[in-house]
Structure 1
């Protein structure tokens, strides 16, 4: 059975410190037998002060976190799902000046096998008084992305995407074995919906969900929910890393479980188009 590792982080405002934490986690994950490591949304930088953050948001080619993780992946011989980084668009004249919230799948030689830009922007006003307007700084992606990995076909999503079933229907149609939904969930929304939605998406797609999360109190003043999860295709929770501490967790994925569930409950095969 292939083993995956989830790295639950409390990412701060210094990309070099965050990169060092990920590099260390890759070495620990390799020693623990993992073939692929998953990190949270915004692994490289969490900083809600835009002027300060802007100094550290650069293009892919200039991103020190991405470079460090690619080098470490090659050194350790492990695959990495880098949950996401804030990156500037390239100098190609495209876009409207906003950043991308971009996930990367990096292979065991350090090559980038896939990129996914978060589709759904977190623009909400919570009852707690928290207000977030992700679309002010980030442009949404528009492509469904899957990629072959040592864990099987991996489908990509990020955080708020988990609230939008159409994306996961598309990933289910692509017959994904695993779906990654890295996150930096707020505490109120996490308590209410995190486990519920992760389990529902696993059941809908008849796939494993692997969702590394941010946790705890961050340098920029925010608090995140944690509870990095691994869920099997039947909706059973295989790993829950809790809401207190950063760290590394391991989960073994039984590939035959996907076929078992799809044979017992063939919802993907039974799906019909709904007339509009």
Structure 2
């Protein structure tokens, strides 16, 4: 079994699939231990797909902690990064927003982060707080922690171009991208 992010076109056909590469095997305390590797196989191939004329880099949840994945997606042309997630409350409270904003800023991309939030039957609690973040790191749309909802924001190509031209960090990388 794999944890996957699937992308569908307007016509309902699947146009992309990414299998989560980094599995969440952590001990957060005496009552909170996760071992995704006990039931999930890791993916091996980062994916960038074309969606309505945009290059979209795919990831899943814990992948957010591995910046090299996002840099590879950007090197493959991504200008939008997706991060569907179910962060725990302890990790989400301290890490969710800083990690999302860091990925947006360092890669000068839009970040779309759908986040499951609330209390679950098995006692697990997820943090929620879906976000859309622009290439400067500004939150342009957000959703409160619990319950269903939809976020909508405009993709501003001029904003992306402005950020990349006036703070050309991607072009300033040296020694093979370092």
Give the TM-score normalised by structure 2: 0.94
Give the number of aligned pairs.
178
Q: Which residue of 1 aligns with 2:166?
A: 264
User: Deviation per CA, 1:122-146, whole angstroms, max 9, x where unpaired?
Assistant: 0000036300000010000111100
Higher relative contact order (CA 8 A, sep 6+): 1
CA RMSD of aligned residues (A): 1.7
Q: CA separation of 1:206/1:189 partners in 2, compared to 1, >3 Å: closer, same or farther?
A: same
Q: Which residue of 2 aligns with 1:197?
A: 99
Q: Which residue of 2 aligns with 1:139?
A: 41
Deviation at 1:244, TM superposition (A): 2.9
Question: Are 2:66 and 1:164 equivalent residues in the alignment?
Answer: yes
Q: Which residue of 1 aligns with 2:2?
A: 100
Map 1:180-195 → 2, pairs under 5 A = 180-195=82-97
CA distance in 1, matches of 2:16, 2:151: 24
Q: CA separation of 1:150/1:274 partners in 2, compared to 1, >3 Å: closer, same or farther?
A: closer
CA distance in 1, matches of 2:71, 2:140: 22
Other structure's SS at 2:141 match: strand
Instruction: Return the index of the structure with the highest Cα Rg.
Output: 1
Normalized per residue, the structure richer in helix is 1
Map 1:198-237 → 2, pairs under 5 A = 198-237=100-139
Q: CA separation of 1:209/1:203 partners in 2, compared to 1, >3 Å: closer, same or farther?
A: same
| Residues 151 and 178 in structure 1, CA contact (< 8 A), matched pair in contact too | no
Map 1:18-57 → 2, pairs under 5 A = none
Other structure's SS at 1:121 match: coil
> Hey, which bits of structure 1, 4+ residues long, moved more than 3 A?
none
CA distance in 1, matches of 2:65, 2:113: 14
Deviation at 1:151, TM superposition (A): 5.8
Unaligned runs of 5+ in 1: 1-98
| Residues 48 and 77 in structure 2, CA contact (< 8 A), matched pair in contact too | no
Deviation at 1:259, TM superposition (A): 0.6
Unaligned runs of 5+ in 2: none
CA distance in 2, matches of 1:260, 1:226: 31
Q: CA separation of 1:151/1:235 partners in 2, compared to 1, >3 Å: closer, same or farther?
A: farther
Q: Which residue of 1 aligns with 2:77?
A: 175
CA distance in 2, matches of 1:233, 1:136: 36
CA distance in 1, matches of 2:150, 2:113: 12
| Residues 176 and 205 in structure 1, CA contact (< 8 A), matched pair in contact too | no
